[in-house]
Structure formats: structure tokens, C-alpha cells
Amino acid sequence: MLDGGTEPDPRFTLANERTFLAWIRTSLAMVAGGIAVEAFTTDLFTPDVRKTVAVLLLLLGMVTGGGSFFRWVNVERAMRHQTSLPVPVIAPILAVGGALVAAVLVGFVIWRPA
């Protein structure tokens, strides 16, 4: 999978792995958040809002977890072949997804009957 090139400095490889693990922690937190929203907010949110927020969080967790592996591999290959690091694709997806979750919740707060 990572054949070719030269072995990078172990510090950089370990830093890449720590970054991968940080993305995995973020992914797991979003999955846990999606499960928590679905399980514990039945009295707080309408069913549509609850399902929308839960599904968005679960999808973000899934995409972040899967994307983090490809990011790790691409960065490792770039280091082995001494090329530029690839542009992160996960970060904008995470930012847009987080903004969507926030927009749904803001809309719920604004239009919620008192």
C-alpha cells in the first residue's frame, strides 16, 4: 500500500498517525452525538428536527472517519515521495456539515412556539 519512495522521519510518520487518530476521535464524537440526539431529545425537538440533526451528525461522523484514512494514506505517500502534501478535503466537508447542523438548530430555536 505504501511501497516506493524513502522512509520518512519517524517523527513525521507519528505526527501523521496522531492527526489520523484526532480525526477518528472527531468522527466518533459526531456518531455519539447523533445517537444521543436521537435517543435523548424526544421531549426537546420535533421528530423532523431530531431526525435531521441526528442523521447529519451520523453522516458527518461516517464521512470524517472514512475520509481520515484516505487522508492518512495520501499524506504518508507524499512524505515518502517528497512531494507537496495534499489539500485536506475533510476539513471543508466538516465545516459545511457543522454549519448545516447549526443552521437547523438555529431555525428550530427561532421558529419554535413559545
* pLDDT tens string 13-51: 999 999 999 999 999 999 999 999 999 999 999 999 999
Each domain of the chain, given as residue ranges in start order, spans 10-111
Predicted local distance difference test score (pLDDT) of residue 4: 82
Distance CA 16, CA 73 (A): 9
Distance CA 87, CA 61 (A): 20
Q: Nearest Cα to 72, choosing from 61, 86, 84? A: 86
pLDDT surpassing 70 at residue 64: yes
- Predicted TM-score (pTM) of the model is 0.87
Contact yes or no for 71/54 (Cβ under 8 A): no
Q: CA geometry: angle at 7 spanning 15 and 90, to 5°?
A: 40
